[in-house]
Structure 1
Amino acid sequence: MSTTWERREDGTVVLTVDHPPVNALPARAWHELAATIRAVGADEATRVLVLRAAGRGFNAGVDIKELAADGGHRALVEVNRGCAEAFAAAYECPVPVISAVHGYCLGGGIGLVANSDVIIAADDATFGLPEVDRGALGAATHLSRLVPHHAARALYYTGRTATAQELHRFGSVWRVVEPDRLLDAALELAAEIAAKDPRVVRMAKESFNGIDPVDVRRGYRYEQGFTFELTLAGAADRARRAFARGGGAET
């Protein structure tokens, strides 16, 4: 995976994930992303973090082929830990995180954007969890932060996706723009935040997390336990092998 970042004069850091062909990340890449977010956020020079991706979509989840190729459970354990750490890194980042989303945002992508502070989406963005079709469970904790409760259940059980426009109506997407305006829109909002007193903004982020009614780390780890149960029962492995044979790579 290529994870690159650049710091702008106003203290905004733009972190770009580029893992062809579809930004479906193996375990190593999730851990790398988590470490990068934490390092950037720990730097006092950082005022805002913009999380974006190159390629056809923002994030296609985990690399199913990596899991299907593993004869044991090592890959599953590592990718689950990697996802948990990356999601937590975004949530616990000391500065506001703005996710700039284009194309598909699936599986692990939902965990990232729901744990960010603000979402700006291109008008071609779609959001969903195909976990049930992949024999896995997880990120319902995060999907429930993006859409109303019963809508989240319907999306989860069916594997359907929601559009950027729908999430904007729900209030979870701040702004919807044309794809070629996505980064500019994210940077405009980042600049507005970066102009504030950085100490106040960092404390505002910490205080907001402190009053959050949902423990996102614990909720996600609880969900992951059911993925292990499905794996031990054989249902998850069958779904992953079937999906891998079909040539996909996301969950």
Structure 2
Amino acid sequence: MGVSTSGPGKGISLVTVNFPPVNALPVKGWYDLADALRAAGRDPEVRCVVLAAEGRGFNAGVDIKEVQRDTGHGALIGANRGCYEAFAAVYECEVPVVAAVNGFCLGGGIGLVGNADAIVASEDAVFGLPELDRGALGAATHLARLVPQHLMRALYYTSRTATAAELHAHGSVWKVVPPAELRAAALELAAEIARKDGYLIRLAKAAINGIDPVDVRRSYRFEQGFTFEANLSGVADRVRDTFGKDASGKDGSTP
């Protein structure tokens, strides 16, 4: 359980997240993920990183139970900062990051894949921000990198999800494959990228980030301020108290 790193091929680093049962990450998990991604990007032998997950889904966001157990604001602040660091680590990774998305990609998962350089998804993958149903806000910055503006707003306000096939039609998912073929398809794309000159691919990543029309770090940080307001006003707790829990007692979100 946790975050692990392996080298499945020349020039490729595979960072895998495994927090059963639904990959709703605790505060430490977000920081561990950020550290793993930054370390992989710093490795001079690595030319591409694949971000994947074990279990039922790619990511269900923050472990809300951890936040609710805290009588103060320490866990919320930790989750906010942890998500910020993990999302930034994907975006700022010195080499391209390919996200291999299986099952559900919700809340914080959108923050990760929205900052990735490419996405390969399984046929059963769904993407969404159920934040309004969970007393939180955030990651609209990253959803807006996956779908057009008006669709982003409709998905956000309704807490609905989009399928991998729909995102493929919008051009934000590179390839959709059967679940059993997901890891191989992501590694295949990573291997193609990793065959490029290592120094040049790093320059390319920096150059592309430099021409982004939106500063994703500042934009997401702005969103996080409204999450704090929702919590301080009490509305977040009121909404979360009515939110249905799964059998594990965990649920996910993005602070």
Query: What is the TM-score normalised by the length of structure 2?
Result: 0.96
What is the identity, as a one-letter code, of the residue corresponding to 1:249? D
Aligned equivalents of 2:132 and 2:190: distance in 1?
35
Which secondary structure state, in structure 2, belongs to the residue aligned with residue 188 of structure 1?
Answer: helix
- Kept in 2, the 8 Å contact 1:95–1:202? The answer is yes
Displacement of 1:8 in angstroms is 3.2
1:223 Cα deviation after fit: 0.3
SS at match of 2:201: helix
In structure 2, relative to structure 1, the CA distance for the partners of 1:46 and 1:156 (3 Å cut) is same
C-alpha distance in structure 2 between counterparts of 1:213 and 1:224, whole Å = 20
1:75/1:244 Cα in 2 relative to 1: closer, same or farther (>3 Å)?
farther
- Aligned-pair distance for 1:241? 3.4
Output one character per residue of 1:63-87: Cα deviation in whole Å (capped at 9) or x when no partner: 0111111111110000000000000
Equivalent residue number for residue 2 of structure 1: 2
* Structure 1 counterpart of 2:209: 209
1:161 correspondence with 2:151: no
Task: Determine if the alignment matches structure 1 residue 250 to structure 2 residue 246.
Answer: no
In structure 1, C-alpha distance between the alignment counterparts of 2:73 and 2:147, rounded to whole Å: 32
The whole-number CA distance in structure 2 between the counterparts of 1:189 and 1:245 is: 37
- 1:62 paired to 2:62: yes
Rounded Cα–Cα distance in structure 2 between residues aligned with 1:126 and 1:8:
26
Q: Tell me, what secondary structure is at the counterpart of 2:95?
A: coil
The whole-number CA distance in structure 2 between the counterparts of 1:183 and 1:9 is 12
Q: Does 2:170 match 1:170?
A: yes
Give the number of aligned pairs.
251
Counterpart of 2:35, as a letter, is: A
Is 1:20 aligned with 2:20?
Answer: yes
Secondary structure of the structure 1 residue equivalent to 2:10: coil
What is the distance in 1 between the residues matched to 2:135 and 2:240? 7
1:237 and 1:25 mapped to 2: Cα distance? 19
Counterparts of 1:1-251 in structure 2, within 5 Å, are 1-243=1-243, 247-251=249-253
**TM-score, reference length from structure 1:** 0.97
How many Å separate the matches in 2 of 1:179 and 1:145?
24
Equivalents in 1 of 2:189, 2:131: separation in Å? 32
Structure 1 segments unaligned to the other structure (5+ residues): none
* Residue 245 of structure 1, CA deviation: 5.7
* Deviations 1:126-169 (CA, angstroms, capped at 9, x unpaired): 00001011111100000000000000000000000000000000
For 1:226 and 1:49, locate their aligned partners in 2 and report how far apart those are by CA, in whole Å: 32
- The RMSD of aligned alpha carbons is 1.1
Unaligned runs of 5+ in 2: none
Conserved 8 A contact 2:120-2:174: yes
Residue 237 of structure 1 deviates from its aligned partner by 1.6
Instruction: Supply the distance in 1 between the matched residues of 2:214 and 2:175 (Cα, whole angstroms).
Output: 24
**For residues 56 and 100 of structure 1, what CA distance do their matches in structure 2 show?**
13
Return the offset for 1:250: 1.1
- Once residues 7 and 177 of structure 2 are traced to their aligned partners in structure 1, the CA distance between those partners, rounded to angstroms, is 23
- Of all paired residues, the percent bearing the same amino acid is 63
Note the C-alpha offset of 1:248: 3.9
